[in-house]
């Protein structure tokens, strides 16, 4: 990988890449002036509200909206009947296999409600109180049906069926009876029987993980304005306003070109804001009423009606030789999809054993519907779940053969050329480097006290590429504007400005980066999949290079020389050699001042489909202390190493790692959806849905391992997701190290830990 | 193209079964991904659109969204896998 060497060597020359300048969105956020989804208040806007099902599973017999519509102040009432029906077909990527027949039913229930909180109607009124009163006047008659919440129960022969005609895909011959199993997947490599026969030790175990929410601080919110000519505008907080545009236009059966979507600031998404809930509803209410409509979810609505990630039931079996070589691995992963098909179980299958060189392996996945809100993406969707099972079994094996758990992983670490279970060979290193840096970490060998334990685990995530666009404008005073279509969730405006400044050779503070609406920049895929710094960053660098070429051409015009006689260095146009002539270098500001005379405004755009993204690897260890009287687990130390390729803005990269780890700690120890016997969520708020807060945590030490990706101009890899893969297993392994009992079900809350202690007493 | 080693083209899962009858590995002579897609569509009409819309491609291990412009070296390994979406 000569390119990697070149990128590494070039690092010394970087002026801005790798530095930590002040974030451009900091002041508006800390002063409360940043405009989030709910902050848009248009003149004459109506208040929208959504009526939601109190039942987990019921047939909708009738909906009478007449009394609500007659209430003074009510301007519109809508139900599913206002939205066009969609064709039943799976379109697009198999993992997310968008079936708009399902999507439109998730937006607004039709024949049945499939989870508590499922939207059944919506109103737009002149005030909050009138809207609330109108909801109370909508008469919905239900036939309550038996429901199913748990994934294993949903797969049972006698389980209540959410869809009477769902035949499992991926099974041949196709089953003759419907079930809640939407799909079966299988990936395999090598000879499993031979692999397990070669093992000296084999461990298999079952695991369960709870449904957890992305728990973004900002609830879903949007405003929509529909004009009489059929054109519309939406303002919303999302991870991709181009996706909001596409989905909303499809659900309203309108041309994409007639809808413009403006990105608001986003208060967290973590995958959960890559889909739409409110935007089509607000747009339809606006269309019907003729007024702008604002819709915002309450926290309860967020929990009840927006996508968490899947809960799961898993089985994993791994065999090793006495000296620690993995000979075979097998896993079955059953994922809750929620009310409609589309869990991230395929990713779980692909990522489960991906960090390891295993000649014989198989993963089987089941996508299972149940009476919960439809699952949405959550940080490396699917991978953290399978990692919990796989990394727990690896820890058990390491203990059984008396090997350090990091050494076991290092012995089996994938490298360039290692085959994967899904076929291609790994094209990038980075995993072994994360292991080695923790083996060398001074805290890894420190002595632990009573009731304390140490655990390690690793994780893998693909990272993403795809379509991105960027536009650069050079202003008359030499300042620079960079516009992209990527909502800024993790500091991308700073990263874009850094890469533009680095490429252009100007001061970072000369560059302002913004997120432009769908009418002002080229199509850009969502801020998700850890793709923005890689894909959109490449588009920014490409646009910058085009601007530089134009600047050189203009300098040549000013000097009256051939354009080939001008080079761009450190922010200045300079003669390429003494034969060109003696000219004082021209700054960006000097050339910008002559823009009108040299051809007009200096702008350039770049659009691309970025490819060659490198995967992310993370390895983490933590020290915990378990209170033997209460079962409470305290995290004493947490160290997270991650291959980040090249940290463009290290503080933001560290923040991504810390954030992913903290979400993983919550997933490990406390977070879960708790349903009552009627299938109603009992803890739809942060008091009862327990996320970690600062006082629960030590400082998360982020260790940045830089193995640059040659496919990116500065070597960047995606950094936003893989960090959430290891924590659940790392903490389970640490608890086992502390109390000598293996916990296999998340969350490992105090009652479960205490029960484990008492069972072993 | 004569004499150049063909690319090894593999479909990771059974997503193409409805077109290929279960066959998942092919040798295709092409210098770009566009050539591979065209050849697969010639052999199995309709498969080209599926590859373009529903898969991610790994060319010699490196992941890409499917694009016509991606060049292939002689003997390249091309795996089509179901498209991966992140959070």
Contact check, Cβ <8 Å, B12/A461? no
**Of the candidates A460, A193, A439, which has an alpha carbon nearest to the alpha carbon of residue B84?**
A460
Q: Quick one: pLDDT band at residue A97, thresholds 50, 70, 90?
A: low
A131, part of any domain: no
A572 & A483 share domain: yes
Which residue's entry shows tokens 């779980």? A348
Name the token pair of A519. Answer: 């009418």
Any B CB within 8 A of A173 CB: no
Query: Under DSSP, is residue A314 helix (H, G, I), strand (E, B) or coil?
Result: strand
A116 has catalytic annotation: no
Please tell me whether residues A541 and A626 are part of one structural domain. no
Write down which residue in A578, A610, A642 finishes a domain.
Answer: A610
Residues A482 and A555 in one domain: yes
Mapping DSSP to helix (H, G, I), strand (E, B) and coil, where does residue A655 land? helix
Do both A400 and A475 map to the same domain? no
Please state the rounded mean pLDDT for residues A366-385.
Answer: 97
What's the pLDDT tens digit per position in A407-439? 999 999 999 999 999 999 999 999 999 999 999
Predicted pLDDT of residue A98:
80
> Which of A209, A461, A196 is closest to A352 using CA atoms?
A461
Residue of A347, A417, A423 with shortest CB distance to B79: A423
Max CA pair span of chain A? 89
Q: Which of A721, A736, A745, A758 is catalytic?
A: A721
Q: How far apart are CA A536 and CA A343, in angstroms?
A: 27
B58–A contact, CB cutoff 8 A = yes
Give domain status of residue A628, yes or no.
yes
Band (pLDDT 50/70/90 cuts) for residue A6 is very low
- Of A748, A485, A520, which is closest to residue A624 (Cα–Cα)? A748
Q: Do A92 and B86 touch (CB under 8 A)?
A: no
Contact A612 B62 (CB under 8 A): yes
CB spacing of A94 vs B84 below 8 angstroms: no
Count of domains in chain A?
2
Mean pLDDT of A726-746: 98
Taking alpha carbons only, the member of A243, A264, A212, A272 closest to residue A39 is A264
Q: What count of other Cβ atoms lies within 10 Å of the Cβ of residue A194?
A: 12
Express each pLDDT in A380-410 by its tens digit. Answer: 999 999 999 999 999 999 999 999 999 999 9
- The alpha helices in A505-647, defined as continuous H runs, are 537-559, 588-593
Considering only alpha carbons, which residue of chain B is nearest residue A375? B87
- Residue A631's pLDDT is 98
C-beta atoms of B82 and A346 within 8 A: yes
A122 against B85, higher pLDDT: A122
CATH classification of the domain holding A423: 3.30.365.10
pLDDT in tens, A206-263: 999 999 999 999 999 999 999 999 999 999 999 999 999 999 999 999 999 999 999 9
Q: Which of A326-340, A715-729, B59-73 has the lowest mean pLDDT?
A: B59-73
Residue A8 has pLDDT above 50, yes or no: no
Do residues A513 and A551 both lie within one domain?
yes
What ranges make up the beta strands (E) of A421-479? 452-461, 466-474
Q: What per-residue confidence (pLDDT) applies to B2?
A: 47
The chain-wide mean pLDDT, for chain A, equals 95
Reported as a single tens digit per residue, the pLDDT across A110-124 is 999 999 999 999 999
Are both A619 and A755 inside the same structural domain? Answer: yes
Q: What is the mean pLDDT of residues A586-611?
A: 97
Question: Which of A610, A643, A678 corresponds to the end of one domain?
Answer: A610
- Residues from chain B that touch A423, judged by Cβ atoms under 8 A, are 10, 12, 58, 79, 81
CB of A324 within 8 Å of a chain B CB? The answer is no
The pLDDT tens digits of the residues spanning A22-77 come to 988 889 999 999 999 999 999 999 999 999 999 999 999 999 999 999 999 999 99
- For residue A721, give its domain range: 382-463+614-760
- For residue A59, is it within any domain? no
* Residue A100 placed within a domain: no
Is A95–B81 a contact, with Cβ atoms under 8 angstroms apart? Answer: no
Instruction: Read off the pLDDT band of A177 (50, 70, 90).
Output: very high
Q: Provide the chain A residues 206-235 that lie in CB contact (below 8 A) with chain B.
A: 214
- pLDDT of res. B54: 83
- Which residues in chain B are contacts of A528 at CB distance < 8 A? 85-87
Phi-psi region of A438 (alpha: psi -120 to 50; beta: other; left: phi over 0): alpha
How does pLDDT run across A493-550, given as a tens digit for each residue? 999 999 999 999 999 999 999 999 999 999 999 999 899 999 999 999 999 999 999 9
Q: Give chain B's largest Cα–Cα span.
A: 44
Same domain, A564 and A496: yes
Q: What is the dihedral of CA A661, A664, A670, A671, to 10 degrees?
A: 130
Task: State pLDDT tens for residues A744-759.
Answer: 999 999 999 999 999 9
Q: What percent of chain A has pLDDT over 90?
A: 95
| pLDDT category of residue A7 using cuts at 50, 70 and 90 | very low
In terms of Cβ atoms closer than 10 Å to its own Cβ (0-12, 13-18, 19+), residue A111 is exposed
Q: The dihedral of CA A684, A689, A694, A700: what is its sign?
A: negative
Residue A663 has pLDDT above 70, yes or no: yes
Residues on chain A touching B54 (C-beta within 8 angstroms): 92-94
A642 and A705 in a single domain? The answer is: yes
Beta-carbon contacts of A69 under 8 Å, excluding residues fewer than 6 positions away, are A77, A134
Looking at the fold, whether A643 and A596 belong to one and the same domain comes out as: no
Q: A273: which 2 tokens?
A: 């804001």
pLDDT at B12 over 90: no
Q: How far is CA A611 from CA A230, A462, A642, A712, B37, in A?
A: 37, 12, 21, 9, 17
Residue A373, in any domain of the structure: no
Residue ranges covered by each domain of chain B: 1-6+14-28+45-72
Inter-chain touch A464–B85, beta carbons under 8 Å: yes
Searching chain A, which residue's CA lies closest to the CA of residue B87? A271
Strand partners, A637: A623
Angle at A512 between CA A511 and CA A513, to 5 degrees: 120
């Amino acid at each position: 990988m000569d390119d990697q060497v070149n990128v590494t060597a070039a690092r010394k020359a970087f002026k801005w890449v790798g530095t930590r300048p002040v974030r451009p969105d900091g002041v508006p956020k800390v002063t409360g002036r940043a405009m989030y989804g709910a902050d848009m208040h248009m003149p004459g806007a109506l208040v929208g509200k959504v009526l939601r099902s109190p039942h987990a599973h019921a047939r909708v017999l009738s909906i009478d909206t007449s009394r609500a519509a007659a209430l003074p102040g009510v301007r519109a009432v809508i139900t599913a009947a206002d939205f066009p029906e969609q064709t039943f077909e799976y379109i697009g990527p198999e993992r997310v296999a968008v079936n708009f027949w399902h999507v439109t039913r998730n937006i607004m229930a039709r024949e049945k409600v499939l989870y508590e909180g499922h939207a059944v109607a919506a109103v737009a009124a002149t005030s909050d109180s009138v809207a609330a009163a109108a909801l109370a006047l909508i008469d919905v008659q239900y036939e309550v049906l038996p429901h199913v919440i748990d994934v294993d129960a949903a797969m049972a022969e006698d389980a209540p069926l959410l869809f009477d005609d769902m035949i499992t895909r991926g099974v041949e011959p196709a089953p003759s009876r419907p079930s809640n199993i939407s799909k079966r997947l299988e990936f395999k490599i090598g000879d499993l029987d031979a692999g397990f026969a070669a093992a000296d030790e084999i461990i298999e175990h079952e695991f369960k993980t709870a449904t957890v929410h992305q728990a973004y601080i900002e609830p879903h919110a949007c405003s929509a304005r529909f004009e009489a000519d059929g054109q519309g505008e939406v303002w919303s907080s999302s991870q991709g306003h181009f996706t909001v545009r596409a989905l909303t236009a499809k659900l309203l059966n309108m041309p994409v070109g007639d809808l413009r979507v403006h990105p608001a600031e986003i208060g967290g998404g973590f995958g959960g804001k890559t889909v739409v809930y409110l935007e089509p509803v607000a747009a339809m209410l606006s269309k019907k009423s003729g007024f702008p409509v604002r819709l915002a979810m309450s926290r309860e609505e967020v929990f009840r009606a927006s996508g968490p990630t899947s809960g799961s039931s898993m089985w994993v079996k791994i065999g090793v030789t006495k000296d620690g070589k993995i000979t075979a691995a097998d896993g079955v992963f059953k994922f809750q999809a929620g009310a409609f098909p589309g869990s991230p179980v395929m990713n779980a299958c692909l990522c489960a054993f991906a960090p390891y060189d295993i000649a014989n392996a198989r993963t089987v996945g089941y996508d299972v519907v149940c009476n919960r809100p439809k699952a949405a993406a959550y940080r490396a969707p699917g991978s953290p779940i399978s990692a919990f099972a796989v990394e727990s079994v690896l820890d058990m094996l390491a203990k059984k053969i008396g090997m350090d758990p990091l050494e076991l992983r290092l012995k089996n670490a994938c490298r360039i050329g290692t085959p994967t279970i899904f076929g291609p060979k790994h094209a990038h290193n980075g995993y072994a480097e994360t292991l080695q840096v923790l083996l060398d970490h001074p805290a890894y060998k420190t002595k632990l006290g009573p009731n304390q334990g140490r655990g390690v685990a690793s994780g893998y995530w693909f990272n993403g590429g795809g379509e991105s666009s960027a536009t650069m404008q050079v202003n008359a005073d030499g300042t620079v504007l960079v516009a992209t279509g990527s909502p800024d969730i993790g500091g991308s405006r700073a990263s874009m400005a850094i890469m533009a400044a680095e490429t252009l050779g100007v001061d970072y503070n000369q560059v302002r980066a913004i997120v432009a609406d769908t009418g002002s920049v080229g199509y850009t895929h969502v801020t998700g999949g850890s793709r923005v710094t890689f894909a959109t960053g490449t588009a920014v660098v490409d646009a910058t290079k085009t601007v530089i070429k134009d600047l050189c051409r203009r300098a040549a015009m000013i000097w009256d020389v051939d354009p080939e006689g001008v080079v761009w260095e450190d922010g200045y146009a300079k003669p390429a050699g003494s034969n060109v002539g003696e000219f004082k270098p021209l700054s960006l500001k000097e050339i910008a001042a002559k823009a009108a005379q040299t051809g007009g405004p200096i702008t350039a755009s770049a659009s691309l489909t970025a490819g060659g993204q490198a995967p992310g690897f993370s390895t983490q260890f933590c020290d915990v202390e378990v209170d033997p009287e209460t079962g409470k687990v305290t995290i004493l130390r947490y160290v997270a190493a991650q291959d980040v390729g090249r940290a463009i803005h290290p503080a933001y990269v560290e923040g991504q790692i810390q954030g992913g780890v903290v979400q993983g700690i919550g997933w490990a120890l406390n977070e879960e959806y708790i349903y009552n016997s009627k299938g109603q969520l009992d803890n739809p708020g942060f008091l009862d849905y327990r996320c970690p807060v600062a006082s629960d945590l030590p400082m998360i030490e982020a260790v940045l391992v830089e193995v640059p990706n040659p496919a990116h101009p500065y070597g960047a890899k995606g950094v936003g997701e893989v960090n959430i893969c290891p924590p659940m297993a790392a903490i389970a392994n640490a608890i086992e190290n502390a109390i000598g009992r293996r916990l296999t079900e998340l969350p490992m809350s105090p009652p479960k830990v205490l029960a484990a202690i008492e069972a072993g007493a | 193209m004569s004499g150049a080693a063909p690319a090894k083209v593999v479909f990771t899962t059974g997503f193409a079964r409805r077109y290929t009858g279960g066959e998942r590995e092919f040798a295709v002579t092409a210098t770009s991904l566009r050539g591979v897609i065209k050849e697969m569509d010639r052999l199995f009409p309709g498969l080209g659109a599926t590859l373009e819309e529903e898969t991610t491609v790994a060319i010699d291990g490196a992941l890409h969204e499917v694009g016509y412009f991606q060049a292939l070296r002689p003997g390249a390994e091309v795996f089509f896998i179901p498209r991966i979406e992140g959070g």
